[in-house]
A = this chain, B = another copy of it.
Amino acid sequence: MDLAPLVAARKSRPEARRADLHGSLLEQLRDLIVEGQLAAGSRVAERVLCERFGVSRTPLREALKVLAAEGLIELLPNRGARVARLTAADIAQTLKVIGTLEALAGETACERITESEIAEIRALHLEMLAHHARRDRLAYFKANQAIHQALVAASGNAVLAQTYAGLSGRIRRARYAANLDLRRWDEAVAEHELILQALAARDGARLAKLLRSHLDNKSYALAAQSPEALA
């Protein structure tokens, strides 16, 4: 195999040698996995990733170790890494935990969220409605994520936010791949409407309950889907 061009490419900008490789590698690898460019269950050779990123094995291996700790990939001793395969049970369990965390976030947020933060979430909500009206799934998905993200952030609990982000990232791939059926999609939008109302009214208990059931419903919908979409 001819590595010369890659080596040349690396050496051609020696001034960047000490850039923040670790952080950027992590991000790029995560993106590859989340976007599904690295198929779930497929084995990943260090070498090919090194070539792709123009980096030696040392920083790449460090990144792989971190991703393994996060649960995005599995490390098989002496046999390399493979992208974690999410079973239906994994997804259901993760959504259960996420639902609980969001409920806590909602409850906490109601006590401390500012009016301007509520306004921002309302704006995101309206954008999401627009994407729903246009049946733009990708844009909807992103707006939806942004709303939940903002809500968790509004709790003011950094540990909660970090834990939530980690779990959310693990199943983002599956959620992204999962094409909602239209009926469930409409339901989800309706649920979001109620969620926003409860938040605006600062009704923590109600918001918690709504968020929990929202995530439970998402879980049921995913379970009802073809399992191969989760691979």
Interface residues of A (CB under 8 A from B): 18, 20, 22, 58, 61-63, 65-66, 69-71, 77-78, 90, 93-94, 96-97, 100-101, 103-104, 108, 157-160, 162-163, 167
Contacts and interface: CB of A to CB of B under 8 A. Distances in A.
Nearest to A89: B158
A162 B163 CA distance: 11
Given A65-B62, A77-B20, A163-B163, A100 B104 contact: yes
16 contacts: A18-B78, A61-B62, A62-B65, A65-B66, A69-B70, A71-B162, A93-B157, A93-B159, A94-B159, A96-B159, A97-B101, A97-B104, A97-B157, A100-B104, A163-B163, A163-B167
B96 A160 contact: yes
A97 B159 contact: yes
A160 to B, nearest CB: 5
A217 B162 CA distance: 23
Contact of A97 (B63, B65, B66, B160): B160
A15 to B, nearest CB: 16
Given A62-B65, A90-B159, 14 more contacts: A18-B78, A22-B65, A61-B62, A65-B65, A65-B66, A69-B69, A93-B157, A93-B159, A93-B160, A96-B104, A97-B104, A100-B100, A100-B104, A159-B167
Nearest to A77: B20
Contacts of A71: 162
A96 B69 CA distance: 23
Contacts of A62: 61-62, 65
Contacts of A97: 101, 104, 157, 159-160, 163
Contact of A157 (B58, B96, B157): B96
